[in-house]
Structure 1
Amino acid sequence: MPENVSSRRYRHGEPCWADVQTRDVEAGKDFYRAVFGWRFQDMPTPDGRSYAQAYLDDDLVAVVAPQNPHQESLDSEARWNIYFAADDARAVAEETPYAGGAVQFGPEDVADTGVMVFVDPPGGGTTGVWQAGTHTGTARYNQPGALSWAELLTPEPQAAVAFFQQLFGHEVTEYPQDDGGTYTRLMVDEAEVAGIVATDGAASWQIYFGVSDVADTVRKALAAGAEVLVAPEAEDEETPGATATLKDPQGGVFSLLEV
C-alpha cells in the first residue's frame, strides 16, 4: 500500500533509503528528472564537489551523488545503493564478521544526519546501513517516484538470509519458484520488507521505484537515453504489479514497479 513515512522513523532492518553514485551528477539529474519528475537541490561535499537531493514536492526521496575517487579511478558505472535502517550502526558493523560478512566502509558519522556503514554479505551484494540522525530516510515509500522495494540477487542466498537474520533479526517467508529455487522475503514486525533470490551471476541489489504506469515510464526513460534490460512484465505471485528493469546512460541499473 502506498505510504507517506515522513512522520516516522524506519524500524531496525527496514530498507529506508536509496542513492545513486554516478560520474556526472548533472547528467544524472537530467535523466531522473525526465523519468520520475524529481526536482533537485544541490548540496556541497567536503571535497568541493556537490551532490543533488531529489524531491517530490517537498519530500526528499533520493540523492544523486558523485562517485568516490576509487570508483572514478576504476571508471566504474553508476550504482544504486540500498540502505537498511539500524538502531545502532556501529553494533551492526561489529557483528558483521561474526555473521559471515565483511565491513567495506565505516562506521562514519555524516555530520548530524546519521551514521553510515557499508557491509558485504557472504556471496556479495554491498549493502548500506543507516542509523538515523536528522535524516531518517525517504519521505515517501511505495509511491510513484519513490523507493518501493529491494531484493538481493546472490549466488549464496541461504548464507545471505542467515546474515541478515543475525544482523537485524529478520523473520522470513519463502516462496517456491518454478525453477526449484526459493524466493525469500525478509520481514520486520510481520511485514515483508525486502527479497533475496538466487542468481548465477555476481551479487547485486535490484532496487525498485514505484510508478503509476510502467510502460509509459519506460518510454520516458528510453527518450532520456536509458537501455531496457528487462521489458515490462505483468504481475506474478512473487512481484505484484507490472515491472521493468532499466540501465541509465551512465550504467546505473534500477527497476520499476507499478503501484
Structure 2
Amino acid sequence: MPENASPPRYRHGEPCWADVQTRDVEAAKDFYRAVFGWRFQDMPTPDGRSYAQAYLDDDLVAVVAPQNPHQESLGAEAQWNIYFAADDARAVAGETPSAGGAVQFGPEEVADTGVMVFVDPPGGGTTGVWQAGTHTGTGRYNQPGALSWAELLTPEPQAAVGFFQQLFGHEVTEYPQDDGGTYTTLMVNGAEVAGVAAAEEAATWQIYFGVADVADTVRKAVAAGAQVLIGPETVEADDDEAEAAGATATLKDPQGGVFSLLEV
C-alpha cells in the first residue's frame, strides 16, 4: 500500500478521493463525526439542498452528499464512491469502451474544481475518475481518519485489471491466495495504489479509512449505530515472519453505506 503521504496533486491512476451519497446528510454527519472525528462545513447544491465537506483540522478528506433523485426514488442505500486521478478525464472516458467498460456519467465540469466521470469496468464496480482543478483530492492519505486503500471485488477480476491497465497504465503485482485465487495490486511508479480481487457477488469497491485502533473505532461506530460486517481481523505481512501489518474491519453505517477500517 502507499506510504503515508499528503501529495498536493495525485498522479494519474492513483486513488485520490472518496465521497458518500446518502439520504440523510445530517444523520450521516453525526455518525462519521463520532467515528472519525470529522468536522463539517455545509455547502449549497444547485437544487437548494446542501452537502457537507469533511475536515481533519484544515485538511479536506471527504464529502457527505445527498443522493440524486434517481437514487432516492429507488430507496437506495448510502454508497461510498472512489475516484482515480486522471490527467485528462475526457480522454479516459473516450478510451473506456475500447477497454471493455462503459461510461455511466460525464465527463462533466464541476465549476472550477475539476472534471468528473463515472465508468464501469467489465463485470461492474462503478469507478469515479477525477481530473483536478482547484480540488486536487484528499488532503491526507493513509492517515487516521483519511482514505487509506481501495480494492475492487468483482466476478471478472482479470478483465477489470486489463481495463485499468489500458486506461491508466497501471503495472500489477499478483499475490496467490489460499483459496486458489489471486489478489492483484495496481501500481503507479512502483507503488501499490489499489487492489482487485475475485468475488462471486455483484462488483463493488471496498473503501478503507485509516484509524489508529480498529477495535476502538469499531466500538465507537457500533455505539453510533453501525453494523459490523467483517472483523476486526489481523492483516499479516507476506514474509517468513508473518509480522502483523495492521488490522481491518468492515462496517455498514446506519443508512447502509459500507466502508472498511485499516489500522495505520
Q: TM-score range with shorter-chain normalisation?
A: over 0.9
Whether 1:248 aligns to 2:250 is no
Counterpart for residue 241 of structure 2: none
Partner of 1:200: 200
Deviation string 1:160-214 (CA, Å, 9 cap, x unpaired) is 0000000000000000000000000000000000000000111000000000000
Aligned position for 1:12: 12
Task: Show the counterpart of 2:77.
Answer: 77
- Structure 2 residue 262 is the aligned partner of structure 1 residue 257: yes
Aligned to 1:122: 122
Q: Does 1:2 align with 2:4?
A: yes
How big is each residue's C-alpha offset from its partner over 1:117-153, in whole Å with a ceiling of 9 and x where there is no partner?
0000000000000000000000000000000000000
Secondary structure at the aligned position of 1:221 is classed as helix
Match of 1:39 in 2: 39
Q: Secondary structure of the residue that 1:128 maps to in structure 2?
A: strand
How far the C-alpha of 1:2 sits from its partner, in A, is 2.2
Q: Aligned-pair distance for 1:3?
A: 1.9
Provide the C-alpha distance between the structure 1 equivalents of 2:21 and 2:224, rounded to a whole number of angstroms.
18
TM-score with structure 2 length normalisation?
0.96
Matched residue, 1:156: 156
The percentage of counterpart residues that share the same residue type is 86
Specify the alignment match of 1:211 in structure 2. 211
1:62 aligns with 2:62: yes
Structure 2 counterpart of 1:247, one-letter code: K
- Correspondence for 1:230: 230
SS of 1:4's partner is coil
TM normalised by structure 1 equals 0.98
CA RMSD, 1 decimal:
0.9
Match of 2:110 in 1: 110
Unaligned runs of 5+ in 2: 239-243
Structure 1, residues 9-62: CA drift from partner, whole Å, max 9, x if none? 100000000000000000000000000000000000011100000000000000
Helix, strand or coil for the counterpart of 1:225?
coil
Partner of 2:186: 186
State the AA in 1 paired with 2:117: V
Look up the equivalent residue of 1:249 and give its one-letter code.
P
**For 2:196 and 2:63, how far apart are their aligned partners in 1?**
24
